[in-house]
């Protein structure tokens, strides 16, 4: 085993533990993180497996296959984050509108006219 492999596996485990600690209730996400950690560890320890998988799906190298999968994952994650951000912005705007209406005051010139 090359010296970099234990370092990479340890870094992957530390990152995964950090994600698992921050995500407490989502079973599907936790399971996905655990599966990705196991797959990542296996591909770090056995890099030829990535090449075999890549050849079986018609990609030249395992590194290329991983790059394609990461690119697709990144596009999906960014689009999901964008949608969530837009929904949060709309919700915040609605709350701000309600607060502004609830705390609105009559201007001083209008108060004098009513007296």
Dmax over CA atoms of the chain, in Å, equals 88
Contact in structure between 82 and 66 (CB atoms under 8 Å) = no
Of the chain, the percentage scoring pLDDT greater than 90 comes to 57
Tell me the mean pLDDT in the region 82-104.
95
Determine the Cα–Cα distance for residues 16 and 10; give it in Å rounded to an integer: 10
What H or E segment, with its residue span, contains residue 12?
helix 4-22
Which sequence spans correspond to the domains of the chain? 1-45, 62-105
Tell me the mean pLDDT in the region 67-74.
92
């Amino acid at each position: 085993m090359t010296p970099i492999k234990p370092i990479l596996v340890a870094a992957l485990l530390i990152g995964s533990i950090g994600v698992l600690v921050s995500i407490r209730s989502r079973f599907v996400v936790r399971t996905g993180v655990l599966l990705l950690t196991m797959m990542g560890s296996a591909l770090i320890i056995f890099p030829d497996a990535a090449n075999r998988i890549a050849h079986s799906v018609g990609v030249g190298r395992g590194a290329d296959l991983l790059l394609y999968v990461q690119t697709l994952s990144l596009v999906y994650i960014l689009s999901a984050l964008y949608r969530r951000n837009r929904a949060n912005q709309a919700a915040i705007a609605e709350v701000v509108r309600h607060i502004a209406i609830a705390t609105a005051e009559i201007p001083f010139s209008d108060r004098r006219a009513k007296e």
